[in-house]
Structure 1
Amino acid sequence: MRWWSAANLVSNAGTWMQLTVQNLLVLQITGSAAATGLSISVQAAPALFVSLLGGAAVDRWPRKLTVAVSQALLGAVAFTTALLVALDRIDMPALLVLAAVTGVIATVDGPACALLGNDLVPREDVPSAIGVGALVHSAGRLAGTALAGVTVGFLGTGAAYAANGLSFLFVASVVPFLRPVHGAVAEHRTGTEPTAGARAVPAPAELSVREGLRFFVRRPRLMALAGITGISSVFGRNYGLTLAVLVTGPLAGGAGSFGTVSTVLAVGGIIGAILGARLRRPSVRTVGLLAAAGALLQVVAGLSPSLAVLMVLVLPMAVVESVSDTAGTAVLQTDPPAHLRGRVLGVWSSIGTVWSLGGPPLLGLLMEWAGARGALVAGGLLIAGSIGAGLLVRRRGGLTPVTVPTKDGDVTGREALSTAA
């Protein structure tokens, strides 16, 4: 797990270097901010349409081999881009094609890497492993963004792509030496505990995309998690937009002030990842309560009379958001049976792409109508109110029987709450 975390730190730093430089490269080629947004959307779009197939592939193929191949392919795309930049042959159509290819490969690489990391620790330590992954992601983002400017300044734009290619190859070279815990591979292939005596390989019908989608839709706690995360993502997580307008508008700050706010948000994310790694039994209820708490802090932040007050509120907002994200990811990656986890993550990736593409425009419309303060206050109240209503409905509704098919075709009854642990 230490080797895997170190490899992912290097890879995350390389990825954020490339993302930062890619925006600059598009602006250099076209001079258009709209084209920059288009390149980001083209890379994200495959997750909307291909993630279900990518998740099915992760469930069907050996996990270590899948990660090694996908990382090598991502490295090849990065090296190709670096070569085109070095030869001054890069143009917007080529950049968009390469971005789309990267997005397609990522639909397999993302869930495969997440689940491989979970295979390296005992089941009870999976929430901690996810917390460590969130910490690595935050640290890699800070390092990569900072290194991008230094690399471009001294070595040029192509060097950032080449560095990202090397980071992918580093991950691929580490994968063969990873040792999953006893029984993890058997559980992945059979969907049962190693001692259950299940057949060795799932039938083809059980590896269909429809099976994962059906499981997700029929699982109340996963639907509740999707609802909480969706409304929070649209109205409560786009601080890069809302706080930027609040700081530079009503609070009369400048770019430097917003930079300080962004730094505090990043620090809070790291602290939250550390705290989230200490969760032992995260639940959807935990995610909901943390999201509601973050939404109420957002309301207060929207009413901040000064930058000093906003700074005090931004840190706990980021901490609560990060712990909530870690808890939600742990539920998402541990609730489904092992043989369905790739497809469930594929469903989640498709849903998340809808939020990421549709959320900013909706929030922008709200800000046009209500202003930065009004958007923060209204969004926070909407999030907290929706979660509170969901908890109230769950409490009044009580337990709902959920039937879950076993690998032998039998049906076992489980009691589950709509947002329960």
Structure 2
Amino acid sequence: MPPAPARPRADRSPWRSLTYRSMRWWSVANLVSNAGTWMQLTVQNLLVLQITGSPAATGLSLSVQAAPGLLMSVAGGAAVDRWHRKLTAAVSQALLGVVAFATALLIAFDQLDLGVLMVLAAVTGLIATIDGPACALLGNDLVRAEDVPSAIGVGSLVSNAGRLAGTGLAGLAVGVFGTAAAYVANGVSFLFVAAVIPFLRPVADAAGRAAPAVRRDEAPDAMTVREGLAFFARRPRLVALAGITGISAVFGRNYGLTLAVLVTGPLAGGAGAFGTVSTVLAVGGIIGAVLGARLRKPSVRLVGTLAAAGALLQAVAGLSPSLAVLLVLVLPMAVVESVSDTAGTTVLQTDPPADMRGRVLGVWGSIKTVWGLAGPPALGLLMELAGARGALVAGGLLIAGAIGAGHLLRRRRTREPVLTPVPTPHPALSTAA
């Protein structure tokens, strides 16, 4: 196995993960995969509308695909801990490719109806409960622990680049070859990733041993879903991270909803104005990903501080008197939240021991699905009651207040003295004395 590249210990370059040959290949594979995924996603909603003519059916298809994440993510994470990681990732990518090709064939022969599409969406979501944690942890195995933030930051940039490329290529492919072409392209992208995985090499740790993928000396029945849930619940850092990320996801972050209503309502802008805001958000996210990639050992405290800062910026943005002021606030808001996301993902993927990370990511997947389902309705209700400005201000203050209260509570607990009981002398010893 080739040794990991030697670099200065203080290296904080956001691109340092790319000094690993396997990580460079993994990044290329992910770029191709993300482009294919976004080609499919771009046409998927249009396809449902063509089949049913119902916007409600479009939302239902997305919910059906997300449902396995709510119900099966923990089991999927346990499978990732139990099985060989590279093999698991390669097989799951290949299976996703098969589903994409099957969908393309059904479209080409005009055999795709809503029922079949829902089944395919559910199968895709089920495979993703294993593929997500397997691929995330495989990427971490390719770099040293201190370079994981760089790997996550580069992954975020690759994801954004793939999204831009995929959405652009989707229109070209569909216009020239038809709707099935987007699914064929996505299938090819999955097979490309599956073909690259066998050639990836995990780095050696400090003791010169290969980075562990699974706990091979453990009986399979010990690697249970219950064990993963119990570990997560007993880990204060992970519980705190879940709380910070959860409240931020429910009362913030859904800017496609809140800022759209703010721009087109109180600020009297149009679709073009909201497009400008979306572009600035994307640019801020990219800048934040680069800055986050410079981190080495982020903490939950850093995640909370950045999330609170982003929430306060959100509250101020809700009071913007004009589109120009909103744009000035949106950029740093997106930057700090992107850095917070990178830091939080790093903690999540590196805090647990290697043999527990799949199950931890599985628990996280279920929790994240709950946030994704609960956030838009909660925010919509808040906007009904307080308007777009009120939702942004109240949501931001609620996030910052909850994080601040949690920090103060933790400090109070750590400062409380631990009282050690004084043992009472045994009566017989007292008499003898």
- TM-score between both structures, scaled by the size of structure 1: 0.91
Tell me the equivalent position of 1:389. Answer: 405
Are residues 1:162 and 2:162 paired?
no
Tell me the equivalent position of 2:101. Answer: 79
Tell me the equivalent position of 2:214. Answer: 189
* Displacement of 1:185: 4.8
**1:164 corresponds to which letter in structure 2?**
N
* Displacement of 1:399: 6.9
Larger Rg: 2
* Displacement of 1:333: 0.3
Provide the C-alpha distance between the structure 2 equivalents of 1:14 and 1:303, rounded to a whole number of angstroms: 39
**1:98 corresponds to which letter in structure 2?**
L
Tell me the equivalent position of 1:414. Answer: none
CA RMSD of aligned residues (A): 1.4
Provide the C-alpha distance between the structure 1 equivalents of 2:331 and 2:416, rounded to a whole number of angstroms: 38
Provide the C-alpha distance between the structure 2 equivalents of 1:400 and 1:180, rounded to a whole number of angstroms: 44
Are residues 1:325 and 2:329 paired?
no
Change (3 A) 1:253 1:204: same
The answer (yes or no) to whether the contact 1:55–1:343 under 8 Å persists in 2 is: yes
Q: Deviations over 1:194-239 (max 9, x none)?
A: xxxxxx5223343111111100001011000000000000111100
Tell me the equivalent position of 1:31. Answer: 53
Q: Deviations over 1:52-105 (max 9, x none)?
A: 110011001111100110000000000011111111111111111000000000
Are residues 1:277 and 2:299 paired?
no
Tell me the equivalent position of 1:137. Answer: 159
Tell me the equivalent position of 2:247. Answer: 231
Provide the C-alpha distance between the structure 1 equivalents of 2:275 and 2:72, rounded to a whole number of angstroms: 36
Tell me the equivalent position of 1:101. Answer: 123
Provide the C-alpha distance between the structure 1 equivalents of 2:331 and 2:279, rounded to a whole number of angstroms: 10
Are residues 1:288 and 2:304 paired?
yes
**1:3 corresponds to which letter in structure 2?**
W
Tell me the equivalent position of 2:147. Answer: 125
The answer (yes or no) to whether the contact 1:27–1:33 under 8 Å persists in 2 is: yes
The answer (yes or no) to whether the contact 1:189–1:202 under 8 Å persists in 2 is: no
Provide the C-alpha distance between the structure 1 equivalents of 2:171 and 2:268, rounded to a whole number of angstroms: 28
Any stretches of 5+ residues in structure 1 without a counterpart?
191-199, 402-421
**2:85 corresponds to which letter in structure 1?**
R
* Displacement of 1:256: 1.1
Provide the C-alpha distance between the structure 2 equivalents of 1:394 and 1:105, rounded to a whole number of angstroms: 39
The SS at the match of 2:327 is: helix
Tell me the equivalent position of 1:19. Answer: 41
* Displacement of 1:267: 1.3
* Displacement of 1:128: 1.3
* Displacement of 1:132: 1.2
The answer (yes or no) to whether the contact 1:52–1:347 under 8 Å persists in 2 is: yes
Q: How many residues align?
A: 392
Provide the C-alpha distance between the structure 2 equivalents of 1:96 and 1:400, rounded to a whole number of angstroms: 54
Q: Deviations over 1:388-412 (max 9, x none)?
A: 11111111111799xxxxxxxxxxx
The SS at the match of 1:187 is: coil
**1:350 corresponds to which letter in structure 2?**
S
Provide the C-alpha distance between the structure 2 equivalents of 1:125 and 1:149, rounded to a whole number of angstroms: 37
Provide the C-alpha distance between the structure 2 equivalents of 1:88 and 1:400, rounded to a whole number of angstroms: 69
Provide the C-alpha distance between the structure 2 equivalents of 1:55 and 1:185, rounded to a whole number of angstroms: 21
The answer (yes or no) to whether the contact 2:318–2:389 under 8 Å persists in 1 is: yes
* Displacement of 1:140: 1.4
Provide the C-alpha distance between the structure 2 equivalents of 1:181 and 1:104, rounded to a whole number of angstroms: 30
Provide the C-alpha distance between the structure 2 equivalents of 1:137 and 1:399, rounded to a whole number of angstroms: 43
Provide the C-alpha distance between the structure 1 equivalents of 2:199 and 2:108, rounded to a whole number of angstroms: 34
**2:35 corresponds to which letter in structure 1?**
A
The answer (yes or no) to whether the contact 2:85–2:214 under 8 Å persists in 1 is: no
Percent identity of paired positions between Structure 1 and Structure 2: 80
Correspondence 1:193-212 to 2 at 5 A: 200-212=216-228
Are residues 1:51 and 2:73 paired?
yes
Instruction: Identify which of 316, 336, 340 aligns with 2:332.
Output: 316
The SS at the match of 1:305 is: coil
Tell me the equivalent position of 2:360. Answer: 344
* Displacement of 1:188: 3.2
- TM-score between both structures, scaled by the size of structure 2: 0.88
**1:324 corresponds to which letter in structure 2?**
S
